[in-house]
Amino acid sequence: MSTKKVEVINREISWLSFNERVLQEACDPTVPLIERIKFLGIFSNNRDEFFQVRVATIKRMAKIGKKAQEIIGENPSKVLKEIQEIVIKQQKLFESTYKNLLKEFEKQNIFIINESQLSKKQGEFVKNYFHQVVRPTLVPIMLDDSLAFPYLKEKATHLLVKLNSHKKSIKAKHAVLEVPSSALSRFVVLPSEQNKHYIIILDDVIRYCLNDIFLIFDFKSIEAHTIKLTRDAELDIDNDINKSLIEKITKSLKKRKTGAPVRLVYDGEMAPDLLNLLTTKLKLNENDNLIPGGRYHNFKDFMNFPDIGLAELRYQAMPCFAHPDFAKKHKNMFEVIRKKDVLLTYPYQSFGHVIDLLREAAIDPDVLAIKISLYRVAKNSNIINTLVNAQKNGKSVTVILELQARFDEEANIYWANKLQDEGVKVIFGVPGLKIHAKLFLITRKNGSKTEEYAHIGTGNFNENTSGIYSDHSLLTADKRITMEVIKLFNFFTNNFKTNTYRHLIVSPFSMRKRFIQLINNEIKNANAGKKAFIHIKLNNITDAVLIEKLYEASKAGVKIKMMIRGVCSLIPGIKKFSQNIEVISIVDRFLEHSRIFAFCNEGEELYFLSSADWMVRSMDHRVEVACPIYDKQIQKEIKDFMNIQFKGNIKSRVINGERNNSYRKIDSDKPVRAQYELYEYFRNKLQN
C-alpha cells in the first residue's frame, strides 16, 4: 500500500496544536487559579521537550538537504519556519495569560512581586535570604573575549548581566550566572502582611542583590536579563562492541549535556547589542529558533507553585477508590485473579493494588518467580522495593529494564545498578528495539502444578504518575493470555527466538497487520450493509498506513469515533473522504494516557487494551502489546468508560484540519465533564 499521497497533518504542527490545548486550560476561568498557573508550567515543560527532541531532529534533517525531503516527504526548513511562527504566536498568548493570572492572584490578595516592588521590610528579608541561602549556590562567570563562552546548563535559567562603566571610553563588562532552581525553590514566600500574601521569584531575589555580587567592580549601572538555551537531546550511541550498554548510554548522556543548541529564549527587553553578543558567542544564526520572551523563563517550575493555604484555589482532592474485588483486605489476591480477570482503571482506582500484589508475591511461599518489564518508575519506587524484597525472600526475579526511556536514562541506570547489587537478574531489552510493553508475570505453585498470573497495562509501573495519568491494568490468570506472556519474556531473554501469537497482538511482529485485518473486517461488513464501527483511544496517531486504512473505512461507511490526546495526523470530517470519522481530545486535570480499541465485529464486539500508539516507532521499532479483553463484565466496563468520554461536552475539543481546538458542543441539557463522571462511575461501582 502506497502512503505517499495520504492526507495528513504534519506531526510537529499537530503536536503544537495539542500543547495549545494545554494552554487553553491556563486561560480557562473555571479552572482554579493555582491550577491555571500550573498549566502554564506544563505547557512550558512540554515545549522544552518538544524542542529537545522533535525540533532537534528536524534541524538534523535540514542539514541533509534535498535527501531529507525524500525521506520525510516534507521540506524540513519549511517545517522549521512554520514551527517558529506558531511558537512565537503561542508565546504571546502565554505572556498575556501570565499577566492576566497575576491580576487574578491580586484579587485573592496574592501578590507576585519583583525586586522593584519590595517594601523596606521585605527588602531586608530578601537580602538576608540571599546571603544565607542563595549566595553560596551562585557561580558568576565573567565573560572575556579571550575565553570561550561558558557552558549553559540544559533546562536552567541563566542571567546575562551587563555592568555599564562610568566612563564611555571603558567597555561594559558582562557576566553569566545560573539561577539555582535545581537546588532551591524558584519561589520565595515573603512574610504575610495584613492577610496579604507575597511571593518573589528567585530570579528577582538575585536581581535585587546584583550590587552585592559584583561589589568589586566600579560600575555606573547594572542590568540582568534572563536567557534559556535548549539543546539537542538525541542520544548518539556508538557501536563499540567492547562497551556495555550502560557504558554507551552513560557516554551519550554526557554528550547530550553539550548537544547542539536548538532554541534560545531571551528577555524581549534585552538591548540589540546584548542579544548580538549572545548569539555571536553561542554561534547561533537566523535559522536557529530565537524566541523573544518575557522577564521569566523556565515556567516548568510553576508546576511546583507554592501552597499558600488557600484550598479554594486548587482542585479539590479526588482520592482513588479500592477495586470492588480487592476491597476486602483479607482476600488472597491470587485467589481473586484465578477466579476472574480484574481491570484496574487509574487514577479512579488504586494503583496500590498492583504494589500489593507484588508484595504478596514477594512473601508468598508458593510463588517461584517474578518477571517484569520496566520503562519509567517513580523516584522512590515501591515497585523496585517489592522486587528487591522478593529476591531476598528467595524468589527468582528477572527485570527487563529499558535503558533508553527518554529523559529517564540516568534514573534507569541507577535502578539497574541497585537491582543488580541486590542479586536481581537485569536484562537490558532487545538490541534495536525499545521495550515499551507494560508486563509482569508471576509463577506460583498450586499443588503439584504451577500457574501464571499476568499484568498487561497501558501505563508505566509508576505510583506517582498513576495518580494523574488515566490508564488501565489487566490482571489475569487466563492461560490464553499468560502462556503468550511467557513467550514474550522468553523473547526478551532469547532475542533470536521469535514467536507467533494467537491472542496477544505484538509489535514489531504483527501489530499493524492485525489492526489492518480488524479494520478490513469492518469495511467488509459495511459494504455488506451491516452495522460497522470502530472506537479508538490513543495518545498519538501518525502511522500513514493505518491512517490510510481508516480513511478507506470511512469511505465504506464505517462509523469511526476517536479520542486522541496528543498528535493527530489524521484529518477527520472531510466530505466523501473522512466524513465518518469524528475525533475529540480531552485535556483536563488528569492526563489521558490509555490506549483502547473496540470493533463492532457484527455485534460480537472485540475490545483491546494496548501500550502502543499508532505511530511508526510503535509498530516497527518497539516491543508493544495489545491484549484482547475476553471477560464480558470487563468489556462492558470499557464500553461504559468510552461512552462517558465520548459524551463529554465540557473539556472535549474537536480535532479537525483547521486545528482551531474549539470546545465540543453537544445538544444536551446536561453538561458532562467526562473525568468527573468517571469518578462517580467508579465510586458507584465500589458502593454497589
Active site residues: 436
Nearest CA among 502, 509, 552 for reference residue 527: 552
Give SS3 for 382: helix
Beta bridge partners of 562: 536, 583
CA angle 264/267/273 to nearest 5° reads: 85
| Structural contact between residues 56 and 233, judged by C-beta atoms closer than 8 angstroms | yes
| Structural contact between residues 574 and 563, judged by C-beta atoms closer than 8 angstroms | no
Q: Which three cell numbers stand for residue 683?
A: 465510586
* Residue 638 backbone phi and psi in degrees, to 5: -65, -40
Instruction: Quote the strand ranges of 294-350, DSSP E.
Output: 342-346
User: Cell 471477560, residue?
Assistant: 631
Q: Which residues contact 109 (CB under 8 A, 6 or more apart)?
A: 195, 196, 197
Q: How many CA atoms lie within 13 A of 351 on its CB side?
A: 23
Q: Which residues contact 435 (CB under 8 A, 6 or more apart)?
A: 373, 375, 400, 402, 429, 492, 622, 623
Q: Which three cell numbers stand for residue 109?
A: 490578595
Given the DSSP bridges, would you call strands 261-267 and 289-293 parallel, antiparallel or unpaired? parallel
Residues 117 and 140: their CA atoms lie apart, in Å, by 25
Handedness of CA 38, 40, 45, 49 (dihedral sign): positive
Residues 81 and 502: their CA atoms lie apart, in Å, by 47
Which DSSP state fits 456?
A: E
Give SS3 for 224: strand
| Structural contact between residues 296 and 226, judged by C-beta atoms closer than 8 angstroms | yes
Residue 113 exposed, middle or buried by CB count within 10 Å (0-12, 13-18, 19+): middle
Amino acid at 91: Q
